[in-house]
Each structure stands twice: as C-alpha cells, then as structure tokens.
Amino acid sequence: MTYDVHIIGGGLAGSEAAWQLARRGVRVRLSEMRGGGDTSPAHQGTGLAELVCSNSFRSDDSDRNAVGLLHHEMRELDSLIMGAASVAAVPAGSALAVDRDVFSAEVEQRLAALPTLDVVRERIDTLPAAGLTIVATGPLTAAALAQSIGNATGAESLAFFDAIAPIVYRDTVDMDVCWMASRWDKGETKDYINCPMTRAQYVAFREGLLAGEKTEFREWEANTPYFDGCMPIEVMAERGEDTLRFGPMKPVGLDNPHQATAEFPNGRWAYAVVQLRQDNKLGTLWNMVGFQTKLKHAEQVRLFRTIPGLEQAEFARLGGLHRNTFLNSPQLLDRQLRLKSAPHIRFAGQMTGCEGYVESAAVGLMAGIMAAAELRGNDWTAPPRTTALGALLAHITGDAEADSYQPMNVNFGLFPPVDPSVKKKVRKEAYTQRAKSDLVFWKSAITA
C-alpha cells in the first residue's frame, strides 16, 4: 500500500491521529518502534497507547472542570482514546480512570479494524524529507530521531523529568487502619483507599523522604527542570513542612470512620492522608496518588511501609524516573502544528509541550483532522479559543511566551475570560456552557 500520511509513534497522540485520518479513508502508515526490537526506559510492553505513569484521565466533570470539558469535546469528535477509555473505565469517583491493559488492547483492536491503516513495528531514525508526516513519539523519543528533530529545528529540545508512582497490591493493605472514601464523598461510590497519619507520623515520614537515598542523575540530566504536574514527592517535601499536606497528602474532606465518637459520628480528619486509587478493573492493583518518586527502590519499600495501613504492603511496581523532551512549540510550529522550517511535518502529543494523557490525545486528534483537511484541499478552521481544544491549540502554537514555555495542562486560564459580571461561584459553568455551544457550530463547519 502507498500512504497519504506517515505517523511516527503509537502512543495516545499517534493512535488518535491515525484513527481520525483512517476513519476518513486516508491511507496511513503508523510506525511504532516497540515490538520491533526496541523499547523506551519507561514502557513495560509493546501495546499501542500504553499508559506509563498514572492510569487516570483526571476529572470527567464537563460542567465545572477544564479537562472534563476536553473529555466532552473529544467524545463529540469520535475520539478513539475516549472511546477506549469508556470500555476500560474503573471506579474513580468523579474522575475517569482505566484498566491500562484493557485500554491498550481496545485501542489496538479498533485501529486494526480500519482497512486503510497499517501499523508497522519499526524504528524511524530521521525525519522524512517529504510526504505528510505526523511525529507523535512523545516524551520518550529515541535518541537518533531526537537528534534529527534537533537538527531540523535548529535548537535543542527542552527537557523535564517525569516520575512514576508506585502500585500496591490491594490485598496487602490493612483496612482495619485505612478506609474507603472519596473526598467530600463526591461520586456515587467510595473510590479511594485512605491511609491516615498523625502529626508525628507525618513529620517522621517527611524526614524520611528528605533523607532517603535518591536515584543518581547522569551528567546530561543534572540541570533538567521538573514539571510541576509530575513533581517527585521528595522534591515537594523539600519545599516546606506543610507542602505535602496541602498537596497529595491533604486530609480535608476525608472523615476517618475509625476515629468516630459520639460527638463526631462520621469521624475526624487526620493530620495527613495518603490516597490509593484503583489501577485495574479487577481492583487488585492500586496506585499511590501523587507519589511519583526518584527514591531508590529499596528505600521506597522501607519508607512507604511506614505509612499506616501499608506496613505489610507488597508492590506490583515501584516508582521511577525518566527524562521527557518537548519542543518550544510557540517558536517552532505554526498554527496548524507544522514545523515552520519543514511544513510537511506536524508534531502532536507531549512533544508539543502539552501535559497529560488527555491533552496529548487531543493534540493528536487535531493533527489528524488538520492533515485530512489538507489532503482534501480544504481550508482549516481552528476550533474556537473558547473551547478546550481551541484554547489548548492556541497556547501551544503561539499564545504562550516562547522564552518561558513550559508543559501545560488544559485549564480555564487558557480560555478567553467570560463576562466579568458572571458571579465567581458559577464562572466555571459559564466557561463550559460557552465552550459546548461554540463547539457545536465549529463541528458543523468542519463536517459540512
């Protein structure tokens, strides 16, 4: 088969771009190096769209949350990633979390059913000199291709660290100490395991994080900045005694029923709380929320077993650290995600400097629709900046300051402001209602 578009990288963004193109009848070659004899420092298998960090796509509330709104918009555009997530979903309160194995298998199955798509297990070392191309190799781009990208952009790619949270076997958690609850009892079910700490336990735990033996940096990693959204827990601990209590270990909204009294029949808040979130459909694996870490493995086991309820914990996976790379997209890419110096090449996913599974897939979705429009000779109409898709795209392709560009999750700060007369308590709803209305008109325009 001859191909109209070559996609390099079979992660979330590349898979989504391939879906959007192939279901429109475009002939696509999707190149993925895993399964062809190569792998990356963080991947565990060869499945497409493998989730290497958390299993959460974060909030699914499309009325009050920006990422939930992005979920809604992607569903409206027949997103592969959101469709597979619905099949693989596991309980997570008001969030959307998935069984990562079911999710990857569902993505592969849906792509395999497309007659104009070929998935080829091969490593691509250089950017193609011609032909429509989408590069979606993500933050773990292989060295040779990264060098080729650096040569094409005329500048070094930026980099940051992304840390992986540990996963605990559910049957090794002591539920006589821990309890099930979602914060403020949100959601229809109690979806998180909560491990309480007293002040003394918290102080000792923080001191252990600070003193624990850490992974040694290689020389080329020494000056690479962290992205705040995946900050290792020990780095957060360095920022102040209470930083963790106002971050991943915040106790507010979590009544401990083991501490119930006549005066407080629902229990009281602990001084700090470690939360575990379900990681697979069977409910046998639970990840430690916000516990990305660069502690050495033996140190993780020792220290995490000092957490009340985890004294006998067994770990299916311990935390780790890998280097992520991304482009200075506002400087290098045009408004259609094309490399200004080589416009036959588009970039998608975390390589563009978006952060998060959903954001990466959303940029892949837009790259696929853009390429399809280009092949048909149609003018491209960008999604309105009042939508989550439009706000994210605008930020990546020029609205951000190039000199200080850093990875960014979708958030209402990227949207044009709503009418200042709108009361603060309903402002989020005003953003989402406006976005949903504007998306309807944009969707009809691009499908006409």
Nearest to 314 by CA among 285, 290, 272, 276: 285
Buried b / exposed e over 282-305, threshold 16 CB at 10 Å, is: eeebbbbbbbbbbbbeebbeebbe
Question: In this predicted model, what pLDDT tens digit does every residue of 244-271 receive, in sequence order?
Answer: 999 999 999 999 999 878 877 777 899 9
Q: Which of 138-152, 193-207, 285-299, 357-371 has the lowest mean pLDDT?
A: 138-152
One-letter amino acid of 93? G
Cα(190)–Cα(184) distance, integer angstroms? 10
Nearest to 296 by CA among 211, 210, 212: 212
Cα separations (Å) of 124 from 31, 36, 42, 145? 7, 11, 19, 7
Using a pLDDT cut of 70, give the percent of the chain over it. Answer: 92
Half-sphere exposure of 209 (CA within 13 A, CB side): 24
Q: Which residues contact 448 (CB under 8 A, 6 or more apart)?
A: none
DSSP string computed for 380-406: P-PPPTTSHHHHHHHIIIIIS-GGG--
Q: Residue 15: its pLDDT value, please? A: 98
Cα(269)–Cα(331) distance, integer angstroms? 48
- The distance of Cα 326 from the centroid of its chain, to the nearest Å, equals 14
What is the DSSP pairing of strand 89-90 with strand 95-98?
antiparallel
Cα(412)–Cα(17) distance, integer angstroms? 25
Split at pLDDT 50, 70, 90, the class of 408 is confident
Cα(328)–Cα(306) distance, integer angstroms? 42
Q: Residue 267: its pLDDT value, please? A: 79
Using a pLDDT cut of 90, give the percent of the chain over it. Answer: 71
* Average pLDDT score over the chain: 91
Cα(371)–Cα(356) distance, integer angstroms? 23
SS3 state of residue 22: helix
Q: Residue 314: its pLDDT value, please? A: 93
Question: In this predicted model, what pLDDT tens digit does every residue of 88-101 receive, in sequence order?
Answer: 999 999 999 999 99
Q: In residues, how long is the chain?
A: 448
Q: Residue 327: its pLDDT value, please? A: 92
Average pLDDT over residues 44-66: 90
